[in-house]
Structure 1
Amino acid sequence: MAGKRVVIIGAGVVGAALADELTARGWDEVTVVDKGALPTPGGSSSHAPGLVFQTNGSRTMAELARYTVEKFSELHTEEGPCFLPVGGLEVATSPERLAELHRRAGWNAAWGIDCAIVSPQRCQELWPMLDVSKVYGGLHVPGDGIAKAVRGVTAQLDRAVARGARLVERTEVLDVHTENGVVTGVSTDAGELAADVVVCCAGIWGPKVAAMVGLSLPLTPLAHQLAWTSQVPANAGQRDEAVRPILRNQDGDLYYRERFDGLGIGYYGHRPMPVAQEGILSCTEAEVMPSVHSFTEEDFAPAWETTRGLLPATAEAKIEEGINGLFSFTPDDMPLLGEAPDARGFWVAESVWVTQSAGVGLAMAEWITEGYCSSFDLHSCELTRFDEYQLAPDYVLARDCQNFAEVYDIKHPLQPMAEPRPLRVSPFHARQEELGGYFLEAHGFERPQWYEANANLVEGRDIPVPNDWAARYWSPIVGAEAQYTRERVALYDMTALRRVMVTGPGSAEFLHYMATGNVTRSVGSVGYNLLLDRDGGIRSDVTIARLGREEFQLGVNGHADVDWLRGHAPQGVSIQDITSGTCCLGLWGPLAREVLQPLTTADFSHEGLKFFRGKRAYIGNVPVTALRLSYVGELGWELYTTADLGLKLWDTLWEAGREHGIIAAGRGAFNSLRLEKGYRSFGGDMGYEHDPWEAGVGFAVKEAKAEFFGKDAVLDRKDRVTRRLTCLTLDDPVEVVMGHEPVFHDGCAVGYVTSAAYGYTIGRGIAYAWLPANLTEPGTSLSIRYFDRDVAATVTEEPLLDPEMKRMRC
């Protein structure tokens, strides 16, 4: 079948993969255009060393890499295979790195990637050049290997051309045309190309191409050093390009691959070397190619010294050639995938390395042709995920350079970004500092994890001290704050959560169609709803409060939700992000009403404002929107006001709460309390790939509604559940895990942990995990692989606390 007219800008590994996948689906009007000469047009693919390490803390990135291995393994050209299946080996040269390798092995087990932690002696068997005295152990992944990028480009483009695609090389794109916000074609220095779909796969030139439709891409090309040695005696006479695993020494910021009798050495330990768009030479100006800059030997000197220490045989070799090759980095280390919100038909597949290239090609082809991606969960790659402040050039540069410097660092799940901070602060920040807030970062906001002012609450409480890894970014105060919230009353800063106003004629009808719940109930109603994709997968979970006949306040998960709603809104419906101009305090605990009611003439009794209802009122002199919601499972309200009155709201509540022992509590306590109640977190516990029935939020789907977005698809999935998000408690009352660990049953990995925390009310570690449906019966015994230990766990009924919801409904 003929599809839409598609122009792919960029003929590297991503553009080639997309052309192959689109034409495989019958779309034969596909044109691939590149200003360079094929199959080495001069971008990152043309010089990439091609190392495919599948291990990744992101399940999506690991699965994209796995598909790349599978596809490249089947591709061949006249020059030979497109994949060299030599395996991968990461070695630890410190005890800390060995522990990290155990954690990484856990990721692989969770994602279904075969691997093993091996001894120093086994490392040396795999890589005889290694000085075994410097090695503590290794992570061996047999399925890793070398992707021959240029061959991969050739093979995939050849297949695309055989199905009708057209290649246009040595041709520069000058502009992308739109009409009424929709793509119509591309101008090149060789003429016009009509198009219904334009896909930017331009790599390091991505920001330049995206700017043609007014799109700002948060992407920075950075130079990365790659050197090739002369003959290494230990490899003398080697006729195959590579026979030993690709090797990583992450303690030294180094990786290695064989090239016949020599080695390729990649180095991330040098200073970040960002390159502006105007600093990328044209194909005619560049001495080698545009993505290759001159090698700076002084930056490589530490790498060569470390290499000769770890691989003594290289002492007799020398560096014969080297480059500073350009690769793309983003502020969160994830690709940029999706359709531009203000130029429909203009798609982006950027900041994709060879490792994930074929997977991204498949993902984008599915997304473009079907309207959604069925093979991978792409919520963390969404082009529209970034806030406006994250698009500031200085921010993008600082974050991308920091990510380059940390590419091989051991990163803790709670580790905040280093720079730029502080960036955003809530109106309560001064008070939080006075209380000794220990700040982490969320959506750019400084957010307290706990408060040192509450240290006195720890005495006399049973708060187990976690293991060293879990004790980072932790204090026993976290446990005290959690317990105290259930005993008395606490203030929580909820400002970092995104808020949206939907107003205008047709707002009610629009939201009623987009959400799974009943949005047309009376003014004052509040509902927990899901936004679904075309396939019935969960796009997001949102709260919708009806504040007027055509006025709604939504709590959403990010900018991608805002774009999703705007992309479907009819004319006349306004969708306004109000996060920056507003703030929110959660007032929760058994004494919350005693604090709040004396401050207002509005009725905050149970009958005056029932659970999941909202109203506007004055708290002292502060106008608020009060929603009776509780993500921590206690009596209380979310109180919203404008940013200028936020501090006054805090002070008013604080003064009134003194006689009731009010405290401020941080995010550490919040996470513990919400897991005791079984509340899901979108992006952590569930994503695009999951449906409501398996995620345990099917109650939010009102099946009796005449119509809503994704209805047929989600109902079709209801009776086909094969996995479930399941609550586990750890058998040992002092154990705790952190998330992303594999879950085992009878010695086999069967699932993986999403959210985890210690439950300070129930006195157990809690872990939510995706498991096969047949293993979700309460009482089922399982184990969680935490680094190199197996932690016993049991499937448990949820919620763990107050299943009758009496605490919140009093």
Structure 2
Amino acid sequence: MSSTDLPSRAETVVIGAGAVGCSVAYHLSELGAEDVVVVDQGPLPVTGGSSVHAPGIMFQTSPSKLQTKAAYYTSRLLSEMGAYDEVGGIEVARSEERMDFLQRRVENATAYGLPDPQLLSPAEVVEHLPLVDEQEILGGYYSPTDGRVDGIAALQWYVEHTDAAFYGDTTVTDLDVAGGEVRAVETDRGRVECDRCVVATNNWGYQTGRMAGLDLPIAPVEHQYVVTEPLAELEGTGGSVGDNTAGLDVPGNRDIQEYMSEGPHQPVGRDQDNSLYFRTHGDSLGMGSYNHESLSVDPEAMGANSEERQASVRGFTREHWERPTHPNREKSAKQAFDELLPASADAEYAVTENGIFVFTPDGMPAVGPTTVDGLWSALAIWWTHSGGYGRIVAEWMENDVPRLPSGPVDTGSVHVRRFEPHAGEKDYFVDRGAKRYEQVYSIVEPRWQPEDHRGLRTSPFHHHQRELGAHFVQSGGWESAQWYDSNADLVERYEDRIPEQDGWQGINRSPIEGAEHLHTREHVSLFDMTSFSSIVVSGEGSEAFLQRMCTNDVAIDVGQVRYSLLCNEGGGILADVTVVRLGDEEYMVTTGGGNSPGIHGTWLREHAPETVSVHVEEGAKSTIGLWGPKARLLLQRCTDADVSNDGLPYFRAKRLYVGEVPVVALRVSYVGELGYELWAPTEYGSRLWETLWEAGDDLGVRPMGGGALESMRLEKGYRLWGTDIDTDANPYEAGLPFAVDTDTDFVGKEALEAAREAGIDTRVTPLTLDDSTDVVLSGRPVLKDGEAIGYVQAGDFGYAIGESIAYTYVPSEYAEAGTSVEVLCEGETYAATVRDEPLFDPGREKILR
């Protein structure tokens, strides 16, 4: 409801009354939250943000399950409002490569449950979109539930049907943050004290974050859109242009909002080969273009509405429309549109704009609790996903579990805390945001890597790795070796066990990865684990604290190691961790790299009592995985400590010296072989590598990269958080009941007990392909009798077992070993069989020797 008098206090303040802020407020109210206030610098409902200048096109299919699920929820919600035109969406192909891409669209949509995805012939496309020149296309992808949102109507509906109080023309001037928590929102109409605050300012997200001392990597970029004068080819389909915004306060050019509020009568379309999209506006045609160089906007210079302009709209730059300035496109937007939609060639434009919207460095949203207590982020979200993320954030805030009606969701890829420490530097996130803009409609290859801002974080082993011909990939800013050219000679040794990987699945792969896998199984290898993180938990009450946070019993002896999980209140897996007891009141908790330190470390820190210190040692330790049947022999050569099976048993830890280097040695292995993790202070890292390398020369020691690690861990069935396990799975579904001790009290226990009592309906299981050595890719549907029952979480070739592996979650009735299923990948249907795990060394003879 719209209000006038700004209160001096509210439980929750939402900053931003666009698509996302309104959705968060609506869902909070639906969940029972009271005393919610929404403020925006612009008038209501036409605030001047991207929600009201956007053409509202909604294509739901994405390689991301979360994005697809959020989009589908949004389309259903908007339909209930009466603010959604479900006209369908068609993506056309003008190249063979794009036709292959559209097949992936069908597979992603099938995997994630979108209704009736279809590939169309050129003639079938033109039946739906008669303005398209059939000779210009090879086919299309059709999603019947795609469509268009009437942005202003949806925002008006939110204001009228939400219990929250909305205040337009209210500019936030500051956020009062003290003692690490948000206290109040300062505005030009007064101060509003609050317990919680949601930043939903999108284009102004960086500026709003700075008010709280945060560097949120939100990069605004300009984007072009035009609407033609009425076309003869669309005669008779005109609507109510001129009346759509009657009675509303509209900043800047009212024509933009008038035409954006006019709905389509044909499917919305995309020509991604030329970075274009289009829809009808009554008897006019709207055309949008990413087909130009990235036009980044200084995130500190977004400005505000005025009588002359809408805050998130810039003047149309005709040169970017008529000249080819996109680095990967040969044609300009106008030339490509003239060919695809000939009726537009000579049309005059009634409306033009360079609208602004935002990108993060990885192109995904930034949602969830920030590092400021009580301050939440709901940023970098478009109309397409706004309803879904509003529900997710509201559930997270109210019930501690991010979820949609279909169930819990995995937020690791969108969590605002996922960003590495350097991501808030403005040049970095503006450059990366510009690159993501460039890639919006590009075909991005598997394992694609950026070229800019490289070498930011390197381990002390980096110079040794470069000398060995490491092929580096970037993860969380770290340079991590995927394989080593120095191991090319191993390919010939194992060539009969390394099948070729052709086509899309083989891009950015190397047979050297398979050779490193097999060498490690037979000899010994060094793996750089420096990007992994240790979290030191110490102080009075450390044991009780970790016992509360961990699902397993961590009341263990000094020197003992235990695998455990961290769960949220809903029993979803927040992390899998290795817990090492180093002293009476000192533990080391190890977790992965990438987004793990920011998400998992902060989770522990914010739950710790005052007597317990939680220190995330990101980058403070250099770590080597020493793995393979000769690992003990090599390590014993370098230390006076007893590392025999009796002296350092499996899942035990010991402080020792490797040469002169002090290390904490963990008898654990992520590859299913005899092995150790050697954790040392970073300054000793180079010497640690050199010591082991020289001592292992006659043992055939080799470096090993991340490609071999992935295939080895899948053979052994070891989980990877963010891939096989995450917050949308509980430990029982994930096949990890051994990591849950219900004799202890921990976060999420009640939910897990209820889930176990109700019965586990879905289970993780490995599949192997029956008649193929191809690698199947994640996000591809697993079928039974032609119906999707799951999708591939991770896939690779198991070089030691000689079979292609895929991990998936399926309904429990299909999880029995021997069940025949199929996997659809790149248009090919592969026969596969459910298998018991682990596929490699089920008796653990190798890891325990």
State the TM-score, normalizing by the size of structure 1: 0.96
- Establish whether residue 767 from structure 1 lines up as the match of residue 800 from structure 2: no
Q: Match of 2:562?
A: 527
Listed one character per residue, the Cα deviations across residues 444-463 of structure 1 (whole Å, up to 9, x for unaligned) are 11111111111111114221
Tell me how far 1:207 sits from its aligned partner.
1.8
Counterparts in 2 of 1:391 and 1:278: CA distance versus 1, 3 Å: closer
SS of the equivalent of 2:645 reads coil
In the alignment, the residues of structure 2 paired with residue 641 and residue 183 of structure 1 have an alpha-carbon distance, to the nearest angstrom, of: 38
Tell me how far 1:36 sits from its aligned partner.
0.8
Q: Match of 1:279?
A: 301
Contact 1:233-1:316 within 8 A present in 2 as well: no
SS of the equivalent of 2:78 reads helix
In the alignment, the residues of structure 2 paired with residue 179 and residue 580 of structure 1 have an alpha-carbon distance, to the nearest angstrom, of: 29
In the alignment, the residues of structure 2 paired with residue 214 and residue 677 of structure 1 have an alpha-carbon distance, to the nearest angstrom, of: 44
In the alignment, the residues of structure 1 paired with residue 199 and residue 193 of structure 2 have an alpha-carbon distance, to the nearest angstrom, of: 15
Q: Match of 1:90?
A: 91
Q: Match of 2:270?
A: 248
In the alignment, the residues of structure 1 paired with residue 113 and residue 37 of structure 2 have an alpha-carbon distance, to the nearest angstrom, of: 36
Task: Write the letter of the residue equivalent to 1:698.
Answer: P
Counterparts in 2 of 1:313 and 1:445: CA distance versus 1, 3 Å: same
Tell me how far 1:211 sits from its aligned partner.
1.9
Contact 1:336-1:381 within 8 A present in 2 as well: yes
Task: Write the letter of the residue equivalent to 1:408.
Answer: Y
- Establish whether residue 713 from structure 1 lines up as the match of residue 751 from structure 2: yes
Tell me how far 1:19 sits from its aligned partner.
2.0
Q: Match of 1:735?
A: 774
Residue correspondence of structure 1 range 254-653 to structure 2 within 5 A: 254-284=276-306, 287-301=308-322, 302-342=332-372, 344-375=373-404, 376-461=409-494, 462=496, 463-557=498-592, 558=596, 559-653=598-692
In the alignment, the residues of structure 2 paired with residue 679 and residue 429 of structure 1 have an alpha-carbon distance, to the nearest angstrom, of: 27
Task: Write the letter of the residue equivalent to 2:56.
Answer: G
Residue correspondence of structure 1 range 39-50 to structure 2 within 5 A: 39-50=45-56
SS of the equivalent of 2:690 reads helix
In the alignment, the residues of structure 2 paired with residue 553 and residue 123 of structure 1 have an alpha-carbon distance, to the nearest angstrom, of: 59
Paired positions, count: 797
In the alignment, the residues of structure 2 paired with residue 129 and residue 84 of structure 1 have an alpha-carbon distance, to the nearest angstrom, of: 19
Listed one character per residue, the Cα deviations across residues 294-313 of structure 1 (whole Å, up to 9, x for unaligned) are 01000111101110011122
SS of the equivalent of 1:122 reads helix
Task: Write the letter of the residue equivalent to 2:270.
Answer: R
Decide which of 17, 24, 35 is 1:18's aligned counterpart: 24
Contact 1:454-1:481 within 8 A present in 2 as well: yes
Decide which of 145, 148, 153 is 1:146's aligned counterpart: 148
In the alignment, the residues of structure 2 paired with residue 28 and residue 429 of structure 1 have an alpha-carbon distance, to the nearest angstrom, of: 54
In the alignment, the residues of structure 2 paired with residue 665 and residue 193 of structure 1 have an alpha-carbon distance, to the nearest angstrom, of: 56
Tell me how far 1:377 sits from its aligned partner.
2.6
Tell me how far 1:335 sits from its aligned partner.
1.1
Task: Write the letter of the residue equivalent to 1:363.
Answer: I
In the alignment, the residues of structure 2 paired with residue 494 and residue 314 of structure 1 have an alpha-carbon distance, to the nearest angstrom, of: 56
In the alignment, the residues of structure 1 paired with residue 507 and residue 669 of structure 2 have an alpha-carbon distance, to the nearest angstrom, of: 28
In the alignment, the residues of structure 2 paired with residue 427 and residue 783 of structure 1 have an alpha-carbon distance, to the nearest angstrom, of: 45
Overall identity of the aligned pairs, in %: 41
In the alignment, the residues of structure 2 paired with residue 802 and residue 192 of structure 1 have an alpha-carbon distance, to the nearest angstrom, of: 64
In the alignment, the residues of structure 1 paired with residue 487 and residue 85 of structure 2 have an alpha-carbon distance, to the nearest angstrom, of: 57
Q: Match of 1:79?
A: none
Task: Write the letter of the residue equivalent to 1:456.
Answer: D
Q: Match of 1:802?
A: 841
State the TM-score, normalizing by the size of structure 2: 0.92
Tell me how far 1:637 sits from its aligned partner.
0.4
SS of the equivalent of 2:846 reads coil
Tell me how far 1:369 sits from its aligned partner.
1.5
SS of the equivalent of 2:166 reads strand
Task: Write the letter of the residue equivalent to 1:374.
Answer: R
Tell me how far 1:109 sits from its aligned partner.
0.4
Tell me how far 1:29 sits from its aligned partner.
1.5
In the alignment, the residues of structure 2 paired with residue 450 and residue 371 of structure 1 have an alpha-carbon distance, to the nearest angstrom, of: 40
Tell me how far 1:169 sits from its aligned partner.
1.2
Tell me how far 1:584 sits from its aligned partner.
0.9
Q: Match of 1:681?
A: 720
Tell me how far 1:509 sits from its aligned partner.
1.8
Task: Write the letter of the residue equivalent to 1:428.
Answer: F
The range that moved more, 372-381 or 323-332, is 372-381
In the alignment, the residues of structure 1 paired with residue 209 and residue 493 of structure 2 have an alpha-carbon distance, to the nearest angstrom, of: 59
SS of the equivalent of 1:570 reads coil
Q: Match of 2:203?
A: 204
Stretches of structure 2 lacking an aligned partner (at least 5 in a row): 1-8, 240-262, 323-331
Task: Write the letter of the residue equivalent to 2:310.
Answer: M
SS of the equivalent of 1:718 reads helix
Residue correspondence of structure 1 range 105-184 to structure 2 within 5 A: 105-114=106-115, 115-160=117-162, 163=163, 165-184=164-183
Contact 2:772-2:830 within 8 A present in 1 as well: no
SS of the equivalent of 1:35 reads coil
SS of the equivalent of 1:608 reads coil
Task: Write the letter of the residue equivalent to 2:442.
Answer: D
Task: Write the letter of the residue equivalent to 2:572.
Answer: G
Stretches of structure 1 lacking an aligned partner (at least 5 in a row): 77-81
Contact 2:40-2:168 within 8 A present in 1 as well: yes
Tell me how far 1:149 sits from its aligned partner.
1.1
In the alignment, the residues of structure 2 paired with residue 595 and residue 28 of structure 1 have an alpha-carbon distance, to the nearest angstrom, of: 63
Task: Write the letter of the residue equivalent to 2:171.
Answer: E
Listed one character per residue, the Cα deviations across residues 397-439 of structure 1 (whole Å, up to 9, x for unaligned) are 1211111111111123311223211221111111111111111
Tell me how far 1:179 sits from its aligned partner.
4.5
Q: Match of 1:56?
A: 62
SS of the equivalent of 2:795 reads strand
Contact 1:633-1:808 within 8 A present in 2 as well: yes
The range that moved more, 386-395 or 235-244, is 235-244
Task: Write the letter of the residue equivalent to 1:543.
Answer: T
In the alignment, the residues of structure 2 paired with residue 131 and residue 15 of structure 1 have an alpha-carbon distance, to the nearest angstrom, of: 40
